[in-house]
Amino acid sequence: MPNPNFTATNTLGKPFSTTTTNRRPFLEIKDVSKVYPTKKGPFTVLDGVNLNVEQGEFICVIGHSGCGKSTLLNMVSGLNFPTSGQVLLEGEPITKPGPDRMVVFQNYALLPWRTAFENIYLAVNAVYPNKPQAEKRAIVRDHLAMVGLADAMEKKPM
């Protein structure tokens, strides 16, 4: 039974319906369920979620705390996986995080013993392991500048 506290709407605020064209959606969430084991038995967070998102479409996922919004987004990012069902990006199953999907964490997710530059360098190095170090360092500096943190690149998170 689908979670009644979980609502997905399109840019017009209308509930999503399945795509009726022959074209494959950019993102497909197909009959996704997520069940976590607990000491009191299985806890179902998502049950039978279906959602299609076209490329460039802006959507909002709305629901109360604990209804599965973050769980669903973690599946799209590749940080979590469904118990059943599929999450597909351009027709391919999402099996791991990738540079084609971005995540903004609710809580900070930085290594407190590393500087802002060092934290970002870890990600750049993971995505581009074969690029020369000078190029990776330039990518880090450019992106810190892009978000207004160039002056804080040698600071550690508090």
Coil, strand or helix at 27: strand
Query: What predicted TM-score, i.e. pTM, was given to this entire model?
Result: 0.66
**24 and 71, same domain (yes or no):** yes
**70 and 132, same domain (yes or no):** no
Per-residue pLDDT tens over the stretch 61-77: 899 988 999 999 999 99
Find the range with the poorest average confidence among 86-95, 102-111, 132-141. Answer: 102-111
Q: Domain for residue 127, yes or no? A: yes
CATH number at residue 19: 3.40.50.300
**51 and 87, same domain (yes or no):** yes
**10 and 69, same domain (yes or no):** yes
**85 and 144, same domain (yes or no):** no
**84 and 120, same domain (yes or no):** no
The rounded radius of gyration (Å) of the Cα atoms in the chain is 19
pLDDT of 87 over the 70 cut: yes
Q: Which tokens go with 140? A: 């880090």
Structural domain of 35: 6-93
**64 and 31, same domain (yes or no):** yes
Q: How far is CA 101 from the centre of its chain?
A: 6
**122 and 88, same domain (yes or no):** no
The count of domains in the chain is 2
Q: Domain for residue 101, yes or no? A: no
What is the pLDDT at residue 85?
Answer: 97
Q: Domain for residue 13, yes or no? A: yes
What is the pLDDT at residue 110?
Answer: 87
pLDDT of 4 over the 90 cut: no
pLDDT of 5 over the 80 cut: no
Distance CA 28, CA 85 (A): 10
Distance CA 50, CA 108 (A): 30
21 falls in which pLDDT band (50, 70, 90)?
low
Q: Domain for residue 108, yes or no? A: no
